[in-house]
Every structure is written in C-alpha cells, then in structure tokens.
Structure 1
Amino acid sequence: MDYVNLGHSGLKVSRLCLGTMTFGTPAWRPWVLDEAASTPVIHRALDHGINFIDMADFYSIGVGEEVVGRAVVKRLPRQQLVLTTKAFYAMGSGPNDGGLSRKHLFDAIDASLKRIGTDYIDVFMVHGFDMATPVEETMCALNDIVRSGRARYIGASTMYAWQFAKMNHVAERNGWARFITMQCQLNAAYREEEREMVPYCQDQGIAVTPFSPLARGLLAGTPDSLRNKTDNFTQSFYDDQTSLDVARAVGRVAQRLEIAPSQLALRWVVDRPGVTSTLVGADSAAQIDDAVAALQHQPSAADYAEIDGWYTPCDVINDYRNDIRTPRRSRFATSAA
C-alpha cells in the first residue's frame, strides 16, 4: 500500500480509504452489515495496510461509529490509524440535533469520541453546508475543536465549490484552522466536481478524497443489488441513459483488459488529477481484496477515452436540489450496445 500526504498537511494516508456506511445495523438500512459481519471486512482492510478510515455519526445513527471503533482501535495502535468522522445531519428530533452550529459541533465531536472509543479524531469533517448557521460560527467552532485537541485537522464534504471556498476564506482571514480535505462524489458517471471543486482544491493544496467511485454499484455491473434496489440515492443520481451508457463502456473495457468492472471504475477515480485517496465501500473481505488489486492495474489513455466519450454533463449532486434535478440526455442518439 502506498501512502501520500493528505493535502497541505504532513498527515500520511493510504491511497484507499475505507468507507464505513455499510457497517452498523441493518435496522438503519437493509443493506448495512451488523457487527459480526462488519468486523472481518474492516480487519481485511487493515491487513492490506489501509490506515485511512472514514466514518460519520449519521451512519446507522451512531451505531456505525461504535462498530468501526471496536473493530479498529483494538486491532491496531491508535497512532497507526487515521480516523475521520463527520457531523451535520440530524441525529435526533430536537432543533439542535443537526447542522453546523457551535452547540451541535461540540456535542457531535464529544459523542463521536465516546462511541468510537478514542481521545481524538484525526480529521473532523462537516458533512455538508449549513445554510442556517453563519460561516464564522462554524469555522470558529471547528478551530476551537482543533485547538482543544479533540481533532487534529478538519475537512468537508458535499457542497458547492463557492461554499467551500467561503468557509476556507473565513478561516484564513481569522487565522483559524483551514480544511485539508474535500470529500466529494466523483466517478466515471458523475464528473461535475471536476469543473470547479477539484481545480479549487488543486490550487489551494487541499486533498480530494472522492466517494462512490462505483456510482453506487452501477459501474461494478451490479444494478440489481440489494442496495441499489433499496437506496433511493441510486435512483436519484444514476437513473438516466448516460449513466447506463458509461456503465456499459466500463464493462466493455474491463472485459478487454480482463479485469473486473469494479476494479476499472475504481482505478479511473484513482487516476483523476487532484485525487489523493479514494473511498471504497465493501460488504465482504473479497471486495476489499479486489479494490486493493485495482491499484496494480494501469489502463491506457485510450481505455479511459472510450469510457469518457459517453459522458454528458448533469446537475451538481447535493442536498439542495436533488428533487428538482434536470434529467440529462445521452450524448449519442442511440445508447451503447
């Protein structure tokens, strides 16, 4: 496993980051693994040298952090792990149970530390942009969390580039901790973050750590999986002809290269300019093995061009306009064979 610096920090992380949305309790989502099934998958990732573990309080409403924490903290010394978690989405029905207010961020970091079983988080991330809280309040609170030692660094996920830039500007203007990483959705079927977010991060020395490299499983050739049948995000994001055309192209190229479509789709993300470490989700140890093996393959520029030729632009994916996204049309009059 190769290790690289996370953005403009000295923190070294593996080229693959273990995403943990699939670990916790199926009571939250039917495709989530319980602790007994989750632990061997997590341990296989650690055995491969993946030291970068991404969590969120929202995953299984806290149970995910508990399951992952027990699996990793007892397996390796804490200093060998790079643990992240996120806060923003509501963890309860109260008016202050979500968002990026000072109150909620302080409550969230303390609750996450307790659930994970650690004294600090390596990267504490905001899971989205809070329209209802002043940016100055959020960035001051994050800075105080870093200064208190409860987090070493801060990061962000899923927002417009102008929102991310505004938050960083406020931090820089006040001499506060700045974000070192942006976790955004990026894959061969969704590339809109390459317009503004990725170039901004490259310019500012911020790590790009994409999630959903397989487009919720579509690019792995598993559109009929339990998750895709029950995860409404899959239908919202990838239920269009362009996504299907891209998936077919990935399948054709992968067959020619004699590798799995999932490995080609993952390698596509790993090779994108600006990408530092790519999140991988898994529901079996074999899927971890396949993801690590993908790092050994090197498709050609022509292979990628065959995939990229089917892409057409679409609306940016975020929490503000998912219900009003404009369906995109395929680039070509007929879909891929």
Structure 2
Amino acid sequence: MEKIYLSDSGPKVSKAIYSFWRWEKENDLNEETAKNVIKHCIDLGINTFDLGNQETSSEFQKLFFSEIAHLGIKREEVVLFAKFGQQITDGIPHYNNTKSYLLQSLDKFLSAQKLEYIDIFLLDGLDYIADIEEIASTLEYIVHTGKAKHIGIANLNNSQHQLLSSFLHIPIVTSHIELSLLKPEAIFDGRLDFIKEKYSKPLVWAPLAGGEILKGEGEKAVKIRKVLTEIGQRENLNVEKLAVAWLIQLGALPIIGSLNLERIKNAAEATELKLKRSDWYRIFNVI
C-alpha cells in the first residue's frame, strides 16, 4: 500500500488506517481473531493504527504490540495515534483539556504500553471552559518534550479548529472527523476545506456509516446504494470499495474498525482505485 504524507509536516502514513476503538464492544473478539486481524493489516501494507483513547482497554493494546513484535515489526515502522481530553466523573462524560489531566493521561498511556512516545496525540474535543492558551501550550509542551511527535485534533468543528490553530506555534497535522456518503456534512460546513487549507488530510471514521451504506433501509441509504451498485456492476467493483474510494478522492484517509478480514481488504484495495469524474459526481449528486 502506498504511504503518503499526512501533512506538509509529516508523518508518512498508510492510505488506510486500522482502529481498535470498537474492539471492546465486539462479542466475537478473541486472541486468535485479534492476531489474525493485525497480521492481515500488516500484510496489506497498513502501518498506521488508531489505538483508541486513554480509556480503551490496555489489554487489546498490549496484544497489538505483542503481535507486532512477533511479526518482527519495529516500533519506528508503525505510526500510532490515540485520543486524549475526555473524562468521566461521577458518571458524567465531559471534556477535560487542562494541562494536568492531558499530561497525566498521556503519561499513564505511555507507561501502560511501555512506549517512549506516540506519533500523533489527538486532542479529542475542545474543552469549553478550559483556557485556550493553556491547551495550546500543553500541546506544544507534549511535542517539545518528545512524548508525541505530532499533534492532531478529533471531533472539533471548523471554528474550534481555527481557534486552536491561532494559538499554536506548531502545526495540527490532521483532523479526525466523521465523514461518509451518509454523513457528508464536513464537505459543506468548512471542515474539509480548512483541513486542506492547512495542507493536511483528515482521518475519517465510520466511512461506511456504521454499515448503513451496505444494508441500511432508509431512503437516502437505499438511493446511494442503488447508484453504487449500478456503477459497481459496470466496473466490476463492490459497493464497499466504491464508497471508500469516493472518500479517498476527497483526500480522506479511511479508518477501518471491522474484524472481518474481507471488509478490511476491501477498504485497503479501495486506496488503489480512482473513480471516473462523472461517476464521482453521479454519487455526489445523491448525497
């Protein structure tokens, strides 16, 4: 799989990314399945992994590092990112972007995984009541001390992205956003344009809208699937590959979370496709 620069400041990543954030919710997950998924990703050329957030079970993450070592993959050969900045207190989920909490969360994460650094520290949501200057200086401190090589953001709107950028002296290399044919809002609300303005590419979660593009019965899902099916029959491509390839032509990098090896392969192979301009806009016209 081709490796590309995530931004003009780096790092170089695979065009498809695998995420572990869903693993805790998978009833069918066992050690053998997990190892097969990790090896399958490596065999497909995927070297970029979303380790979830500071609340993700460290057991899954330890299993990943164990299998990577077993396969002879060196730490510097993979690109790792994780999300920080959310907390649950007294049963209430909330943002916490304070310096003490961000540093404590990162140190705990690195220690649990026996890591010296993470490639991309993603700030997961902008804390409405934290000091924006403190947030920016904390992110800069994390990079300057070598605990992360780069910073990115997750689930910020366009104005929040711009606000945070204005206080930083280091680049935000990526934005982790929801984007799919069924959830195209980032195309129209300025988020995608601003990401491109900063010479970076978005990490796109739920590229198949949680499977709704493949099996959803809503009017919009059915309409989109009909167009994808017609193009797919002509080009000998399945709906899944077409839906992901459409996003990739926007400059997006799809995040895969499935345990199904065939679905992982479909997403990986979609990175090598390029839709005809007329087909891309035919799909665009039904979203």
> How does the TM-score come out when normalised to structure 2?
0.89
Letter matched to residue 224 of structure 2: V
What corresponds to 1:301 in structure 2?
277
The structure 1 residue matched to 2:199, chosen from 196, 205, 217, is: 205
Find the residue that maps to 2:274 and give its secondary structure: coil
- 1:121: Cα distance to partner? 0.1
Note closer, same or farther for the CA distance 1:137–1:64 as it changes in structure 2 (3 Å cut).
Answer: farther
- 1:284: Cα distance to partner? 2.4
Q: Aligned partners of 1:246 and 1:59: how far apart in 2?
A: 35
Q: Aligned partners of 1:69 and 1:168: how far apart in 2?
A: 33
Name the one with the larger strand percent.
2
- 1:106: Cα distance to partner? 0.7
Note closer, same or farther for the CA distance 1:12–1:32 as it changes in structure 2 (3 Å cut).
Answer: farther
What corresponds to 2:220 in structure 1?
242
Q: Does 1:178 align with 2:154?
A: no
Q: How does 1:221-260 map to 2 (within 5 A)?
A: 221-223=214-216, 241-260=219-238
Letter matched to residue 280 of structure 1: I
Contact 1:57/1:65 (CA < 8 Å) preserved in 2? Answer: no
Of 111-120 and 39-48, deviating more is 111-120
The structure 2 residue matched to 1:120, chosen from 114, 117, 126, is: 117
What stretches of structure 1 of length at least 5 have no aligned partner?
A: 224-238, 312-337
What corresponds to 1:84 in structure 2?
81
Contact 1:21/1:59 (CA < 8 Å) preserved in 2? Answer: no
- 1:109: Cα distance to partner? 0.8
Q: Aligned partners of 1:186 and 1:161: how far apart in 2?
A: 14
Q: Aligned partners of 1:100 and 1:282: how far apart in 2?
A: 30
Note closer, same or farther for the CA distance 1:68–1:5 as it changes in structure 2 (3 Å cut).
Answer: same
Per-residue Cα deviation, 1:278-318 (whole angstroms, up to 9, x for no partner): 2222212222222222233332122222322212xxxxxxx
Note closer, same or farther for the CA distance 1:105–1:293 as it changes in structure 2 (3 Å cut).
Answer: same
> How does the TM-score come out when normalised to structure 1?
0.77
Find the residue that maps to 1:251 and give its secondary structure: helix
- 1:5: Cα distance to partner? 1.0
Q: Aligned partners of 1:32 and 1:91: how far apart in 2?
A: 27
Note closer, same or farther for the CA distance 1:95–1:168 as it changes in structure 2 (3 Å cut).
Answer: same
What corresponds to 1:21 in structure 2?
21
Find the residue that maps to 2:179 and give its secondary structure: coil
- 1:73: Cα distance to partner? 4.8
Letter matched to residue 52 of structure 2: A
What corresponds to 2:264 in structure 1?
288
Q: Aligned partners of 1:286 and 1:115: how far apart in 2?
A: 32
Note closer, same or farther for the CA distance 1:133–1:48 as it changes in structure 2 (3 Å cut).
Answer: same
Percent of matched pairs sharing the same residue: 21
- 1:92: Cα distance to partner? 6.0
Q: Aligned partners of 1:303 and 1:207: how far apart in 2?
A: 23
Note closer, same or farther for the CA distance 1:53–1:169 as it changes in structure 2 (3 Å cut).
Answer: same
Per-residue Cα deviation, 1:80-105 (whole angstroms, up to 9, x for no partner): 11111111232564899952111111
Contact 1:187/1:215 (CA < 8 Å) preserved in 2? Answer: yes
Per-residue Cα deviation, 1:167-206 (whole angstroms, up to 9, x for no partner): 01011xxx3x331111111111222111301111111222
What corresponds to 1:72 in structure 2?
68
The structure 2 residue matched to 1:269, chosen from 247, 261, 264, is: 247
The total of aligned residue pairs comes to 285
- 1:119: Cα distance to partner? 1.1
Contact 1:18/1:280 (CA < 8 Å) preserved in 2? Answer: yes
Letter matched to residue 209 of structure 1: L
Q: Does 1:106 align with 2:103?
A: yes
- 1:43: Cα distance to partner? 1.6
Note closer, same or farther for the CA distance 1:215–1:31 as it changes in structure 2 (3 Å cut).
Answer: farther
- 1:155: Cα distance to partner? 0.4
The structure 1 residue matched to 2:47, chosen from 45, 51, 57, is: 51
Report the aligned-residue RMSD. 2.4
Q: Aligned partners of 1:69 and 1:126: how far apart in 2?
A: 23
Letter matched to residue 66 of structure 1: K
What corresponds to 1:317 in structure 2?
none
- 1:57: Cα distance to partner? 2.0
What stretches of structure 2 of length at least 5 have no aligned partner?
A: none
The structure 2 residue matched to 1:159, chosen from 136, 147, 156, is: 156
Q: Does 1:36 align with 2:32?
A: yes
What corresponds to 1:149 in structure 2?
146
